[in-house]
Structures are given as structure tokens and as C-alpha cells.
Structure 1
Amino acid sequence: MTEILLAIDTATENCSAALQVGDRVYQRVAESPREHSQRLLPFVQELLSEADISLQQLQGLVVGSGPGSFTGVRIAISIAQGLAFSQQLPVYPVNSLQTLAQHAIRSHSGKDGAAHPAIILSSIDARMAEIYYALYENINGIAVPLTEPAVAKPGPELFQQPLAQLQIDQDTVIAGAGTGWDSYHDLLAQSLPGPVNLHPDCRLPEAKDMLSLVQAKQVQAISASELEPLYVRNEVTWKKLPGR
């Protein structure tokens, strides 16, 4: 799959945009939680200018659909819908937790001779003493979901059920990514059966990792009218994916 794809994300403190043209990827990233609406469209224009292409040449739009900041998620969704409707583009919604897991795989695969992170626990601070979270497996360099995104208060028994049913034991090193680890490191670590390999450089999602997930066909295209935010605030229990 080699298309001209634009990816945008404002679901967390990061405002990021990435443009894939063939094998080249251009990106802009800024941690600016109160400036997303001012930064995102200029980022898009800069990327198009750098790659010397126009909006009319885009073949698809990738958007971070959440979970994350309610306001941030809505900004990206609104801009994505506007661009997609104007150019009649298919839209690929990617959840923030899977993007974080892909970020961890990209950033740490093979570093210092270490094995690729096999299991990644992505966690985003959801405020109100809660986290958004999901588990992912590294399969050939791609973050494949083991559980659906959910929200809950971190605690020592949070992952007992899913880890047991997924047969993840105390010998498995789990990589940690996301801002949930900043706020609740000890509670999250205590809830896991074995050691944690925390990746503090993978705190926030980046748009170029969404492109990798789309290229790996982890995401299905939808129309702009079908695009909706992924809030998951009403989810209080974990869900194992079918077949897992």
C-alpha cells in the first residue's frame, strides 16, 4: 500500500501531522496542549509545501480518534472531516493507545541488542484519577491489539483478568508507554505480574506511527460522515478481542 496519506493528531498534549509520499514521511510535532487549533492547519500546509504536493493529490486522511483530551480529540475530528469532505477522501481513524504502542516499537526495536518489545501496555492519563489503557502485541514490528481501549482507576488488580486469559505470565517483560505511566507508575507496575520496561520517550502519540498502522492494514477506511471520536469514558471493564 503506497499512497499519499496525510495523518493528523491532537488527542493528547502533542499536536502532530505527518505526510507520506511513497517511501518518504514528513512530520511536524509540538507539545502544545492549548495551541492545537492554531498549529495543526499550518503544520499541514508546511508538510504539503515541503513535499511539493497539493491537497488535491491526497489519497487518504488518517486521524487520531482518541481516547484523550475531549477538546483535543474534537479538534482533529473536525479538521479531518472538513478536509475529507472537501477532497472526498477516505478516512482512517486510529486510536491513540495503538499509536503509542507503535511509537514504542519504532523507537525501541533492537536498541542496545534488546529484543523487540513483545507486549506493550499503553496508558494515557484520563484525569479524574483514571487512565485510558489497552494491551498490544508486537507482531513483525506492528502493534496488534490484544484488548479494546478502556478506562478505569489504576490499581493492583486492574490487569489480573486480561493477563491471565491472554496467558501473559511473570516471565514476560511488558513495555510501558504513555502519560498514564507518568502519573501512576507504581500502581501500574504493581498490577503487572513481571518486570516493566518503561519507555519515557514514548509519552505521547505521533502522527507518523499512525501511517505505519494504516500501511500494515490495521485500520479500515471509512467515510467522513462515519468518523466519530473514541471517548471510552463509559467503559469500566476490559474487553478481550474476538479470537484472543
Structure 2
Amino acid sequence: MSAKILAVDTATENCSVALMVGEQVFARSEVAPRDHTKKILPMVDEVLKEAGMTLNELDAIAFGQGPGSFTGVRIGIGIAQGLAFGAELPMVGISTLAAMAQGCYRKQGDTHVASAIDARMSEVYWGRYSREQDGSWAAFDAECVIAPSDLVEQVQRDEQTWSKVGTGWEAYAEHMDTIDLNSKESDVLFPEAQDIAFLAQFAFAEGKVVEAEQSAPVYLRDKVAWKKLPGRE
């Protein structure tokens, strides 16, 4: 983990910024659903000052690409693009669902995570992830937006115990609690920029970066079908 990466995320109610430099992480985070535009840039300034760095010394800007609030995702990408344009840096988009999986491992050491964000309209953004030996995460299901009642019908129990993260579990508990999974609780409700920065290290090392003008959100509203990925039976 050697790249110097600044990460920003406003895709959910949580607003967060993190700067990863080697093994050091400088982070700020606050649940502030209506104040993302007011808080995000001051957070950026704070972590840069704490680390004694400028934007021009960084290798990349990472951002929570979604899924999440449409407005929140757009705010995060817009801020990240402005920073990247100004410093002529590449960008790395990271799934908010996968970031919560990393957050669950960071906090609890769990290696199999089921992420569900409240997508409104009686749906959740859904994805499951398993941690690889190198610290990266492999998707078990294709990320999607889906009605909890449909998840109940489609998800089948396996030998793993899945940690539940995200707001979707509580928002639709009537259905979500009946999904046929070996599961356990966690205290992870939102993605954090420090976990986005961590995952961005893998993407950066693999050359999975884009120019600022090419960065794009992932809303998932055009992907409504749940699907288990090949080889993940």
C-alpha cells in the first residue's frame, strides 16, 4: 500500500474524507445528511494539513461511486472531479457496498459481508463480498437494486456466516430478517472514506484509474435483476 490517495464519499447520510499515505490514515467522518456540500471541502483541508501534504503530492483521488443517494453520489463525484482537475490527478471509483465490507473487516475482522443500503421505493442496493488473501474483496453476488421480498425468494443459505452491514437491513427488517442466511449483526451502517482509500490502493496498483472527465456514478437503477456470480455457488 504505497500510493498516496485521497478519498471522499458523500453517497449516503455519512460524509467522510480520508488520506492514505503508506500505512498512515488521516480521516474525518460525520453523519450529516443535508450538509455534505458544507462539510466535505473543510474535511479535505483538515486531513491534508494534518498529513502536511498538498493535492499536488498525491497519486490519485478516490471517490464513492455509489450506489447510494442520487444527489449524494453526484456531490461526491463533483467534489472529487474538481480536486482531480485542479491537481491533474487520476481518479478511482469504489463501490460503496464493497467499502462497507472492508469497514466491517476493519472493525470486526469479518471476511464474509452482506451489504444492503436503503434505496427507497421499497428496495435495497444489495451485494455480498468475501475477503481474499491479499486483502481485496471478491463479489459473491452481482450488485443490484432489488425489493427485499425478492431477495427472500432468491438468496439461498450456504455454509458461510454473513455479517450484515448497511441501512437496508433495518429499513426493511420485516423481509430482510427472513432471508435464509447464516448471519450476524455489525455496527457498520455507512461507507467510510478510509475504506474507499484502502480499496482504491488495489485498483490503482492494477491501473484501474480514469481521467477526471471520465469518472461516472453507479446508480444500479438500470440493473434490477439479482444474480449470483459464476463459480460462487
Same fold (TM over 0.5): yes
Report the alpha carbon displacement of residue 143 of structure 1 after superposing the two structures with TM. 2.7
- Code of the residue aligned with 1:139 in structure 2: it is E
Counterpart in the other structure of 2:125: 132
Q: Indicate whether 1:216 and 2:202 are aligned.
A: yes
Report the alpha carbon displacement of residue 15 of structure 1 after superposing the two structures with TM. 0.3
- Code of the residue aligned with 2:192 in structure 1: it is E
CA distance in 2, matches of 1:209, 1:172: 23
CA distance in 2, matches of 1:232, 1:243: 23
TM-score by length of 1: 0.87
Instruction: Tell me the matched-pair count.
Output: 229
Over the residues paired in the alignment, what is the CA RMSD in angstroms? 1.8
Counterpart in the other structure of 1:178: 166
Counterpart in the other structure of 2:145: 151
Report the alpha carbon displacement of residue 243 of structure 1 after superposing the two structures with TM. 5.4
CA distance in 2, matches of 1:154, 1:145: 19
TM-score by length of 2: 0.91
Report the alpha carbon displacement of residue 160 of structure 1 after superposing the two structures with TM. 5.1
Output one character per residue of 1:70-125: Cα deviation in whole Å (capped at 9) or x when no partner: 1110101111111111111111100110011111111111xxxxxxx342110000
Closer/same/farther in 2, CA of residues 126 and 24 from structure 1, 3 Å limit: same
CA distance in 2, matches of 1:160, 1:127: 20
Output one character per residue of 1:35-78: Cα deviation in whole Å (capped at 9) or x when no partner: 00000000000111111111111110000011111111010111
Contact 2:20–2:198 (CA<8 Å) still a contact in 1?
Answer: no
Within-5 A mapping of 1:164-175: 169=158, 171-175=159-163
Within-5 A mapping of 1:1-244: 1-109=1-109, 117-140=110-133, 141-155=135-149, 157-158=150-151, 161=154, 163=155, 169=158, 171-192=159-180, 194-199=181-186, 201-217=187-203, 220-241=208-229, 244=232
Closer/same/farther in 2, CA of residues 236 and 229 from structure 1, 3 Å limit: same
Counterpart in the other structure of 1:112: none
Please, which runs of 5 or more residues in structure 2 have no aligned partner? none
- Code of the residue aligned with 1:71 in structure 2: it is T
- Secondary structure at the aligned position of 1:182 is classed as helix
Contact 1:7–1:61 (CA<8 Å) still a contact in 2?
Answer: yes
Report the alpha carbon displacement of residue 159 of structure 1 after superposing the two structures with TM. 5.6
